[in-house]
Amino acid sequence: MSETGQLDHLYRVQGLDLELDRLRAEEDQISDDLRAARSEQGKINNQLEDTEIELEKVERQVRQLELDLASSREQVSRNKAEQDRNATNAKLQSQYESVILQLSERVSDYEEALEPLYAQQAGLRERASTLRAEHKALRPTLGSLEDADEVRVQGLRAQGEGMRAERAELVGRTEPRLVKEYELIRKGKKGIGIVSYTAGRCQGCNVQLPVNIQQRAASGKLPPVKCPSCGRILYKG
């Protein structure tokens, strides 16, 4: 194959690459409805996670206070039973009553501390239940939008199948070193590795090319001639 033919292939590969880039970019352009539904789902998930974390914290406090309360009540009952059995005089009676009073006050403190926690616990449980219901209600709409978007994406990928096949065929007929050089330049130059020039100007950076550069590029010989300004391969179409 002639050297000019190699550059012809490469220039066509560049055109295919740009079209495939466009299709890939279009894949990411989801609908406003899907974006809004995903955002709403994320917001609900975050709120539910925060609510469940707070609920778990409150429930730990409730469990500990309930244990303390049960223990204090048990101590009150035990001391009252011992008082009935052992308080044989006024002094012992007074001692038991003092201990029972202290324990009873502790019971009251635990009961008072639990009241707002029970209210907070109930509120958090209701909040979590509401958020789960909202998440469940959103699921069908989001699922439908996701399915429609998947169809859209698959359609775009199907459009690119022929392009990818043509690209592979052209690359297979082009010198590997030339393809590698093109791909390295393309990677560093916003997706464009080879450009034509018109009226002596590089179509990649619009710089006026020296006459000798134009002449060498017009020959189509390898190694390829590059724009002295932007470094892209020059192609005379």
Q: Where are the domains of the chain?
A: 1-26+175-237, 31-160
Q: Which neighbouring-strand residues pair with 226? A: 233
Whether the link from the prior residue into 140 is cis, omega within 30° of 0, is: no
CA distance 117 to 150: 47
Same fold? 1-26+175-237, 31-160: yes
pLDDT at 100: 94
Whole-number percent of the chain with pLDDT over 70: 98
Q: 222 exposed, middle or buried (CB, 10 Å; 0-12, 13-18, 19+)? A: middle
Mean pLDDT of 203-231: 94
CA distance 37 to 113: 41
Quick one: CATH architecture of 1-26+175-237?
A: Orthogonal Bundle (1.10)
Residue 159: band (very low, low, confident or very high) from pLDDT cuts 50, 70, 90: very high
Q: Which neighbouring-strand residues pair with 202? A: 197
Residue 87: band (very low, low, confident or very high) from pLDDT cuts 50, 70, 90: confident
Residue 5: band (very low, low, confident or very high) from pLDDT cuts 50, 70, 90: confident
- For 64, other C-beta atoms within 10 Å of its C-beta total 11
Q: What is the pLDDT of residues 182-206, one digit of tens each?
A: 999 999 999 999 999 999 999 999 9
pLDDT at 4: 62
Q: Is 218 within 8 Å of 236 (Cβ atoms)?
A: yes
Q: Which neighbouring-strand residues pair with 233? A: 194, 226
CATH of 31-160, one of 1.10.287, 1.10.3210, 1.10.3470, 2.30.29: 1.10.287
